[in-house]
Amino acid sequence: YQDEWLVVANKPVGLTTMRHKEEAEEFGARAQKFLPKTLADMLPGLLGNPNRPVIAVHRIDRDTSGLVVFARTRAAAEHLTKQF
């Protein structure tokens, strides 16, 4: 599902939801292109707007499948996070 404020994606087993801030900082922006893609990395392109990032509101483990909610704006992310 997708609308102006959020995206709900069915994450398959074996795919990480998002990259943790510490991991991203450890590797740096240049090295991140060599890390495995996350669902948060792939969604903008799959949604047809690769320059509009999504914000993971929660996550599920790599070895778990299921629905994951992403926000399309910072305000939506804050509102959805409060709901979770």
The one-digit pLDDT tens for each residue of the chain (84 residues) are 999 999 999 999 999 998 877 776 777 777 667 778 899 999 999 999 999 989 999 999 999 999 999 999 999 999 999 998
Per-residue confidence (pLDDT) for residue 73, from 0 to 100 = 94
Per-residue confidence (pLDDT) for residue 35, from 0 to 100 = 77
Are 19 and 33 in contact by the 8 Å Cβ rule? The answer is no
Per-residue pLDDT reduced to its tens digit, 33-47: 777 889 999 999 999
Report field, pTM of the whole predicted structure over 0.75: yes
